[in-house]
Chains A and B, each alone.
Chain A
Amino acid sequence: MNENGIGASVRRKEDQRFLIGKGNYTDDINVAGQTHAVFVRSPHAHAEIKGIDCSDALAAPGVVAVLTGDDLAADGIGPLICGVTVTSDDGEPHRAPAHPALAQGKVNYVGDHVAIVIAETRAQARDAAELVDVDYNVLPAVVDTSSAADSGQPQIHEVAPDNVCYNWPFGDKDGVEAAFAGAHKVSKLDLVNNRMVTNPMEPRAALGEYNPGTDEITLHLTTQNPHVHRLVLSAFNQLAPEHKLRVVGPDVGGGFGAKIFVYAEELVVGWACRKIKRPVKWNGDRSEAFLADAHGRDHVSTAEMAMDENGKFLAMRVQTQANLGAYLSTFSTMVPSYLYAFLLAGQYSTPLIYSEVKAVFTNTAPVDACRGAGRPEATYLVERLVDICAADMGLDPAEIRRRNFIPVDAFPYQTPVVQCYDSGDYPAALDKAMELADYSGFSARAEEAKSRGKLRGIGLSSYVEACGIAPSAAVGQLGAGVGLWESAQVRFNPTGNVQVFTGTHSHGQGHETTFAQLVCDQLGVPIENIEVIHGDTAKTQFGMGTYGSRSLAVGGVAIARACDKLIAKGKKIAAHALEAAEGDIEFADGNFSVAGTDKAMNIAEVAFTAYVPHSYPEGVEPGFDENAFFDPTNFSFPAGTHICEVEVDPDTGVVEVVKYSAVDDFGKLINPMIVEGQVHGGIAHGVGQALLEGCSYDSEGQLITASYMDYAMPRADNLPCFDIDYAPTNPPDNPLGVKGCGEAGAIGAPPAVINAISNALGVRHIDMPATPETVWRAAQQAAAVSS
């Protein structure tokens, strides 16, 4: 094996600059003549704007401009768009209310954008922002997910009666009903998937520069997908034509989904810098991140499973009400629909599945993809329901899973809900996880815990997710406005080093290392001679960005394809130089050699020859630089079993996660250390959702959890050391044999934790986040019932 190639835990190349404080984030970038912007935001969840008086603000020291929705409309900029259309049950497209980047007549959530104040310094802009006098007529707010569509609720958008964005039934309703009618047993569960604030470490920021000489706008943004930003801002928001707009996502301090979307601030900063002909910088603070980053999850569901007398699943029925917030964020509509309902089969061969999703508007921040996006919601529902089924059937949770797993020989497996799973060996992951977790030793550990006054519980979660988003044809059929291929360019310089341009974007994932390893492995170039470049529309040909664990599974393959082209071209050049037939040239470990001889030249020499083609094969172009686009034929389907063990203090309700084992199938691992880091982070995120994170608004739509004083994030001491292993299978649809690993932990963990707590307490269900008080109350109730 190449020591820095596929399978090696190479130290992250990018860490050098991060560890010495030389990362280059949007806020680190300052340009001559820069001004500073602050947004005036709505303090009300729902209000009419009767007037905006900017005169005091305009007169304040240092103020350059104060711009409102009227200015934006006059220039024909915006509105913001949602890129995926879901068809409602009446055959009409989902209801899409206008989403102006600066409010026009109405605000719809606390934090909604009303005006931008631009001044010489940030402090001046903040001072002046307080002087913008907005005359509000406060309206009653809709906040609660489950009652948002009830009659009598205030109406948020005229185009969306009853605050409904869409009703989306999916599956074989009649078949499911018949199966339920004939079932031996039906298990049922009501559950909530708690709303989360996504919380990347770096708050969002934007720096816009306009060059009147070239009529070009350059926008530095906290983005996970610079080209998608450019495309949407150009094609749909009228900011500037694509060739006159450059979007740069420099170092970005985490995204977790929240930096996929095109936000009001980004469009407004881009527009304002041209309007005032000076650079404009906006750097959001943490409070703004809580208020106005897209949030995640927020479902209220009922799930039912019909079973035969052996606990075999016959049919599943799901009803979900999903909160989309005040407006449709860029990809919001697809999250509780395609990314959710298409994963409801889980790891099981349930033949019939029917779901109804009602997506609703509320006077809360827009909700969109957050690490996992739809799949955590689906997995939580399925894996909680399966535990309920086990309890109702008197089966061990592991046993009921085993009885219903999709058999190993059934892959590729067509589920009843669109997806065709590529590969999997679910029993293998379960077995390995049970061994890792010492499942059979659990009862002894529980006894021992009891002697210390603790309730110990164990919980399983066997998840599957759809990654590597996605085949363009598939997403196009579903109403996506874009294709979801990925592109790459691999360029040798004449001196033999390599620049790899990828359309994906790294904001913590370590692409600069993983992708370099791919190239190092395939082309035999020393890893230190390879540079991975991403995040700048002026450098990379095109790209769809990073989300949905797609970067390696789609973007990595594009890189490999570009390398294939280099090798093919290199063979021609080497054949000419070595005076052999092209068909006799073999390529291995960076060397082109003539089969059966010791005649060879390495790839750096070939590259040099390509740029200095003094003696060169006829008909071959000079240069050694290839690009490739890759559009997968299918999603990839990572899967695995996670097992969580908790101890509950019944006197306080405090839950301690004491043991956590994860066995995942990510296909082939390129850099096991980086993968392990992704798994750790994912599990921490999932444990955070299960135990700590609950975004909450009061009845007037004020965000209560608006800072870290009230919004609890997981910290190291909330987590045990994880036991991690893999049970890989080989996905036939992916040329690299990889599946994706960035979201798995956040998907697998929540049900494992809640199953463990329910097990510890001996209760049927407990909603997330399982805060101490919630658990204490459940423990009290359980004790009362059993005594």
Chain B
Amino acid sequence: MYEFNYRKVASVAAATEAMQQAEDGKFMAGGQTMLPTMKHRLASPSDLIDLGGVAELTGISVENENLIVGAMTTHAAVAASAEVQQAIPALARLAGNIGDPAVRNRGTLGGSIANHDPAADYPAAVIALGATVQTSKRAISAEEFFTGMFETALEDDEIVTSVSFPLPEAAAYMKFENPASRYAIVGVFVAKTGGEVRVGVTGATACAHRGLRLEAALGGELDAGGIDAVELPVEQMNSDIHASAEYRAHLVKVMTKRAVEACQ
């Protein structure tokens, strides 16, 4: 780790101000990505602005047919929440399977989506559920939020404050885990909301995205019969020692079918 200034703030406004004053600042939520990156000397922010003390960023509630989860809510809190288990059980299960207990007790929803690791789980849910990301400046729709590998629509001094998930009629997440890291090699979240079936795909490509071809094959129904015939663009798939592009494309379909079945 290189030297940096540590700033603890108590409000979103103070965090924004600290960021604006910093030469090259970074927000820190659970630190589960930020700190290892700094320890490996791959990141060297001048200031680390710790959102841990910002009370307004945590909490879970259901309002107007929406599940609202504060950005600083940990994965463990989401997994254990009776509200989440009742409103969107698939989301509670997703959170309960991220990393290990230490990671789940530190890592946060806001950190996960702001970081946008192409193998992270939450982005698939945010997209499939048609969620809205609320920030310190505006509301951003799920599809506009994730823009590329480790890239989002967030500006440097913009803070994710909460995510609002419309309640689905049915939803399920299927994750094919990397045997080493246990991140998603492929993760597919299928949700039926307001009569529409959406598919959110993570891990497969550089950017979490809607599986539009898969959605077309489903035709608004929770019936996986047409999935086998879908042709996915293999050339856009990630490829590494764990899974080739061709295998990933195949897994997207298998995970989609399984998620659809699990919705029933």
Contacts and interface: CB of A to CB of B under 8 A. Distances in A.
Do A and B come from the same complex?
Answer: yes
Interface of A: 123, 126-127, 130, 287, 651-652, 691-692, 694, 696, 704-705, 708-713, 771-773, 776-777
A465 B20 CA distance: 66
B241 interface: yes
Contact of A710 (B2, B241, B254): B241
Given A123-B1, A652-B254, A773 B181 contact: no
A712 B179 contact: yes
A772 B243 CA distance: 8
Contact of B254 (A127, A651, A777): A651
Interface in B157-180: 176, 178-180
Nearest to B186: A652
B93 interface: no
A652 B251 contact: yes
A773 B41 CA distance: 33
Contact of A772 (B41, B179, B181): B179
B250 A710 contact: no
Contacts of A705: 180, 241
Interface residues of B, dominant DSSP:
loop
Interface string B228-264: 0000000000000111100100110010000000000
Nearest to B244: A773
Contact of A709 (B181, B244, B250): B181
Nearest to A287: B40
B228 to A, nearest CB: 11
Interface range for B: 10 to 19
Given A773-B247, A776-B250, A692 B242 contact: no
Contacts of A652: 176, 251, 254
A476 B59 CA distance: 70
B181 A771 contact: no
A27 B2 CA distance: 22
A769 to B, nearest CB: 9
Contact of B181 (A287, A692, A710, A777): A710
Interface residues of A, dominant DSSP:
loop
A705 B242 CA distance: 10
Contacts of B243: 772-773
A712 B240 CA distance: 14
B180 A708 contact: yes
B73 to A, nearest CB: 25
Contacts of B242: 710, 771, 773
A705 B178 CA distance: 13
Given A652-B254, A710-B242, A771-B242, A776 B179 contact: no
A123 B39 CA distance: 11
A771 B179 contact: yes
Contacts of A773: 242-244, 247
A334 to B, nearest CB: 31
A287 B244 CA distance: 25
Nearest to A709: B181
Nearest to A776: B247
Contacts of A709: 178, 180-181, 183
Given A127-B2, A709-B183, A773-B242, 6 more contacts: A652-B251, A694-B241, A705-B180, A709-B180, A710-B180, A771-B179
B203 to A, nearest CB: 13
12 contacts: A127-B2, A691-B179, A692-B179, A696-B241, A708-B180, A710-B180, A712-B178, A713-B180, A771-B179, A771-B242, A772-B243, A773-B244
B180 A712 contact: yes
Contact of B241 (A123, A287, A704, A777): A704
B253 to A, nearest CB: 9
Contacts of A771: 179, 242
A691 B242 CA distance: 12
